Amino acid sequence: MKPLGFSTDDKHMKRAGLDYWDKVKVVYHDDLVAFLDSIDLDHLYIVSKFAERDYSEVDYTIAGDHYFLFGKETTGLPEGFMRRYPEKAIRIPQDDNNIRALNLSNTAAIVIYEALRQQGFPNLARVHKYPFDKLK
């Protein structure tokens, strides 16, 4: 969603170690409204520490694409937006008394891998075949 807050030019992606960027299907949306208009809202999940439903209580095996919306680590998503879609909100349990927010990339990994786990990790290798096996 624009504005991105970071550059996606080749120089920056290579520096970040993203040499697989050409394999990623990227879709840019001008704003939140444009994004919401382009998706099936039945498969939208808004990740927020203010949500009441635990991310692991969701059935991600329902067919179709799933969309996870994350806010900024510092401010989260706009309150008005959150109030419009409270039934879409999910959270990762955390210590709200001592932790302001979980790291955004860690949060994304936790939630997305739970969805993939429930789906049986489709199109992902369960075992990596090394030319030399470090474990033998």
For the stretch 39-49, pLDDT in tens is 999 999 999 99
Gap between the Cα atoms of 70 and 68, Å rounded: 7
Q: Are residues 18 and 75 in the same domain?
A: no
Gap between the Cα atoms of 87 and 119, Å rounded: 22
Q: Is the pLDDT of residue 35 over 90?
A: yes
In the numeric block, which tokens belong to residue 127? Answer: 């075992």
Q: Is the pLDDT of residue 32 over 70?
A: yes
- Which residue type sits at 60? Y
Q: Are residues 120 and 91 in the same domain?
A: yes
Q: What is the mean pLDDT of residues 12-28?
A: 75
Q: Are residues 86 and 115 in the same domain?
A: yes
Tell me which DSSP letter residue 96 carries.
T
Q: Are residues 64 and 24 in the same domain?
A: no
92 is in an annotated binding site: yes
Domain count, the chain: 2
Q: Which domain holds residue 79?
A: 40-124
Residue 136 resides in a domain: no
Residue 131 resides in a domain: no
Gap between the Cα atoms of 47 and 53, Å rounded: 10
99 is in an annotated binding site: no
Q: Are residues 18 and 57 in the same domain?
A: no
Residue 72 resides in a domain: yes
Strand partners, 91: 54
- pTM for the structure as a whole: 0.84
Q: What percent of the chain has pLDDT over 70?
A: 94
CATH (domain of 93): 3.40.1280.10
Residue 129 resides in a domain: no
71 is in an annotated binding site: yes
Residue 130 resides in a domain: no
Gap between the Cα atoms of 97 and 104, Å rounded: 18
